[in-house]
Amino acid sequence: MELAGQAESFRRRGIGVASVIPEPAATIKEFATKHGLGYPVLSDADAAIIRRFGLVDHTFQATGDLVGKDIPYAATFLVDEHGVIKEKFFEQAAENRRTTASILVLQGEPGTGGQEIRAGHFTLRTSASNAEVAPGQRFTLVLDFELEPKHHAYAPGVKGYKPLEVQLDPDPVFEVHETRYPAAGTYYFAPLKETVPVFQGRFRITKDVTVAMREALSRFKDAAEIPATIKGTLKYQICSDVVCYPPATQQLQWTLRIRKWVR
Amino acid sequence: MKTRPALLALLLVRCAGAAAPAPSPAASPAPAATTVPAAEGSGPGPAVGDPLPAFQAPDQDGKRQDFETLRGKNGLLLNFNRSVVW
């Protein structure tokens, strides 16, 4: 399980990690002994937990040994220390799975790969949650900004200025999700008596991408993995306390590998 | 008091406005790529802001685990999967 490789990174952040699986304890123990899981995997053989959580996937078409068994959706909950759910990661389609590395970068962990771009009045470091992804996986592209002091970029919803916006070039292999922004600050510009939503200093915006199963698989032919490039454009406008620069664009690029299977 | 003279600011804002005209069919957010709605966060099971339902089960070593035994000082990542391999 992909989570096993990331469990230590969560523990370093003070976050415990566990999985719940509708398999007998003996099956889990056998797998854990063979592959070494390194974190607790709970046996929900009678499906009591997934029923209690309301996570049984009634649309699942069971075959073989699974016929008659309750199977859950693949879902992940990030829970605070008081037991309150802070984030819920859930995919409707059985073929789609968010990578655990993606959940980690959404918590602020550094991404992998990418480039450093020095643009006018800010530095941008791009990276991705995963260097290697598989068909059906959902992962995260990361843009870490560092603006010069006393400069700001504009947040979505701003009027009269160009907000930060990330657009990816169309590619049938990649389904693009909405951009995630941090909470905007406000900036009061006295001469115009206007208050505008801005980002300042260091901040991160992210964009999730799902590797479309069928479209990706059609590209493999006989290869076990293929290279892929995601291109896009950053649109922005930077202003300081004294000068407002015209809107500008920056080309973006991420290179990664698509592996045929997750295992 | 801001050091930026109001006139200069107005001028620059107007320039900026000229460079980025009001939304027109060409400038409106083009569907540059397949954008799928954020399905996650919703869907079956408890929602964000809800308390995690109580649970208890044995782990691979036969140890009884629940939220309190599993959590770190900042909480818990609880994952549901269909089997050990997928």
pLDDT at position A1: 67
Give the pair of three-digit tokens for residue A108: 């602020």
Which chain B residues are within 8 Å of A54, Cβ to Cβ? 44-46
User: Does A62 have pLDDT greater than 80?
Assistant: no
- How many angstroms away from the CA of A13 is the closest CA of chain B? 7
For β-strands A97-98 and A137-147, DSSP reports them as: parallel
Average pLDDT over residues A24-43: 89
Task: Determine, for residues B82 and A22 on separate chains, whether the beta-carbon distance falls below 8 Å.
Answer: yes
For A113, phi then psi, to 5°, come to 65, -155
Question: CB of B22 within 8 Å of any CB in chain A?
Answer: no
Number of other CB atoms surrounding residue A89 within 10 Å: 22
Q: What is the pLDDT of residues A161-207, one digit of tens each?
A: 999 999 999 999 999 999 999 999 999 988 889 999 999 999 999 99
pLDDT at position A213: 86
User: Does A74 have pLDDT greater than 90?
Assistant: no
- How many angstroms away from the CA of B27 is the closest CA of chain A? 12
Interface test with A, best of B3, B78, B85 (most A CBs within 10 A): B78
Q: What is the pLDDT of residues A196-248, one digit of tens each?
A: 999 999 999 999 999 998 888 888 888 888 999 999 999 999 999 889 999 99
pTM value?
0.83
Q: What is the ipTM of this complex?
A: 0.86
Task: Provide the CB-side half-sphere exposure for A66 (13 A, CA).
Answer: 13
Q: A7 to chain B: nearest residue by CA?
A: B77
Cβ burial of A222 (10 Å; 0-12, 13-18, 19+) is: exposed
User: Does A79 have pLDDT greater than 90?
Assistant: yes
Task: Determine, for residues B40 and A88 on separate chains, whether the beta-carbon distance falls below 8 Å.
Answer: yes
Q: Pick B24 or A25 by higher pLDDT.
A: A25
Q: What is the pLDDT of residues B20-70, one digit of tens each?
A: 333 333 333 333 333 344 445 577 899 999 999 999 999 999 999 999 999
Q: What secondary structure letter does DSSP report for A77?
A: E
Q: B15 to chain A: nearest residue by CA?
A: A246
Which chain A residues are within 8 Å of B72, Cβ to Cβ? 10-11, 13-16, 81
Task: Determine, for residues A171 and B33 on separate chains, whether the beta-carbon distance falls below 8 Å.
Answer: yes
Task: Determine, for residues B85 and A88 on separate chains, whether the beta-carbon distance falls below 8 Å.
Answer: no
CA angle A241, A243, A245 (to 5 degrees): 125
Question: CB of A220 within 8 Å of any CB in chain B?
Answer: no
In B25-84, the residues whose Cβ lies within 8 Å of chain A are 29-30, 32-55, 57-63, 65, 67, 70-84
- Going by pLDDT thresholds of 50, 70 and 90, the confidence category of residue A114 is confident
Yes or no: say if A49 and A42 are a contact pair by the CB < 8 Å rule. yes
pLDDT at position B7: 36
